Amino acid sequence: MNKLRGTNDTEVTEFILVGLSYQPQSQIIFFCILLHLYLGTVVGNSLIIMVVWKEPRLHTPMYFFLCNLSFVDLCSTTTMVPMSLVNLLRDCPTITYNDCFTQMTISIFWSITESCLLAIMAYDRFVAISNPLHYTLIMTMRACFQIAAAMWISSFLLALIPSVTIPVRFCAGHNVVNHFVCEVEAVLKLVCSDTTVSEILMLINSIFFLSLPFLFILLSYIRIVVAILKIRSTDGRRKAFSTCGSHLTVVTIYYGTLISIYLKPQNKDSKDQEKIISIFYGTVIPMMNPLIYTLRNKDVIGAFRKAAEKIKQGRLSV
């Protein structure tokens, strides 16, 4: 990738990440909180992947997509948090231009993938509830792998749009990113040339990976509710609702947080607060997803207990 040049041909080879540099007394506290959240995210999502992989009873479409979600949460957090933790311990953290745009592209990729994945999981629940007799014929493992492959490929292609459309002309000396990591909006503020085309393309991109999946999820749940209301027995309705309760909770938290972040009126006096909310969004939600899917899920809890007993017996035998 070519080096950037400002208006006076001065090379811009790196960016300075501000983080909480203006509040050094808060950095250690924030470091400890962020570290614990990250460790909780890694442990929780890794356990889900391991348990589903080891337990044959969980080799179903729902848990296959749950493993994909845990993997996305694990990777998206790892893309952002370790660098943020290191930068919190540095006086003047910097990042090269190439690394900055690589990080932006990867972060966007994980966001797109998670949105698409939540939409796919909504479709899986719709098929399971509205057409249970043909569920195993429709949602075969081969079909699940094909859907997942299409999701990963399309998400990767969409993630490349912002990185290839952001202009490569930055103002000389304007290389201070007011964030913990390279965030698209923070980097765009440093661009000297016209960003109208980039902003339009990014808006179109956000519609594809945010609005359309959300609309698809909404329509899926409308049809799920209609299908449940057709069930005559109260116990049958309760069981049907319980099968999609965890996913609905995750979707509500995920999109509710996104809407509160991006639709909130901008306040110049609360930049640090916005940065902290953004970084917590990237750690708290991935940490909560394993808890939401396991606390009320008897199959997963049973698999965890079975794995714990095997570990305990293995230690005793040693």
Residue 77 CB partners (closer than 8 Å, separation 6+): 38, 41, 42, 282, 283, 286
- Predicted confidence at residue 218, as pLDDT, reads 93
H helical segments located in 166-233 = 184-188, 196-206, 212-229
Q: How far apart are CA 223 and CA 211, in angstroms?
A: 18
CATH of span 12-317: 1.20.1070.10
- Predicted confidence at residue 127, as pLDDT, reads 92
Q: Find the mean pLDDT for residues 20-36.
A: 76
Cβ–Cβ < 8 Å for 18, 177: yes
pLDDT > 80? residue 76: yes
pLDDT > 80? residue 215: yes
Domains in the chain: boundaries: 12-317
Pairing of the two strands 14-17 and 176-177 = parallel
Compare 288 and 304 and report the one with higher pLDDT: 288
E strand residue ranges, 54-118: 94-96
Pairing of the two strands 11-12 and 4-5 = antiparallel
Mean pLDDT score across all residues of the chain? 79
pLDDT digits (tens, 9 = 90+) for 136-147: 899 999 999 999
Q: Find the mean pLDDT for residues 251-260.
A: 81
Q: How far apart are CA 158 and CA 153, in angstroms?
A: 9
Q: What is the DSSP string of 241-270?
A: HHHHHHHHHHHHHHHHHHHHHHSSPP-GGG
pLDDT digits (tens, 9 = 90+) for 155-195: 888 888 766 665 556 666 667 777 778 877 777 777 776 66
- Coil, strand or helix at 12: strand
Q: Find the mean pLDDT for residues 237-248.
A: 83
Query: Which pLDDT band, with edges at 50, 70 and 90, does 316 fall under?
Result: very low
Q: How far is CA 316 from CA 264, 305, 308, 309, 312, in A?
A: 55, 16, 12, 10, 6
Compare 284 and 185 and report the one with higher pLDDT: 284
- Predicted confidence at residue 193, as pLDDT, reads 66
Cβ–Cβ < 8 Å for 289, 69: yes
- Predicted confidence at residue 244, as pLDDT, reads 83
Torsion of CA 157, 161, 163, 165, to 10 degrees: 150
- Predicted confidence at residue 83, as pLDDT, reads 85
Q: What are phi and psi of 115, to 5 degrees?
A: -60, -45
Identify the weakest region by mean pLDDT among 125-129, 251-255, 258-262: 258-262
Q: In what order do the strands lie in the sheet with 176-177?
A: 94-96, 14-17, 176-177
Query: Which pLDDT band, with edges at 50, 70 and 90, does 314 fall under?
Result: low
Query: Which pLDDT band, with edges at 50, 70 and 90, does 6 fall under?
Result: very low
- Predicted confidence at residue 12, as pLDDT, reads 61
pLDDT > 90? residue 234: no
Cβ–Cβ < 8 Å for 166, 188: yes
Q: Find the mean pLDDT for residues 256-283.
A: 66
Q: Find the mean pLDDT for residues 288-308.
A: 78
- Predicted confidence at residue 118, as pLDDT, reads 93
Closest CA to 27 of 276, 269, 274: 276
- Predicted confidence at residue 216, as pLDDT, reads 93
pTM of the model as a whole: 0.84
**DSSP, res 2:** P
Beta bridge partners of 5: 11, 169
Q: How far apart are CA 151 and CA 196, in angstroms?
A: 29
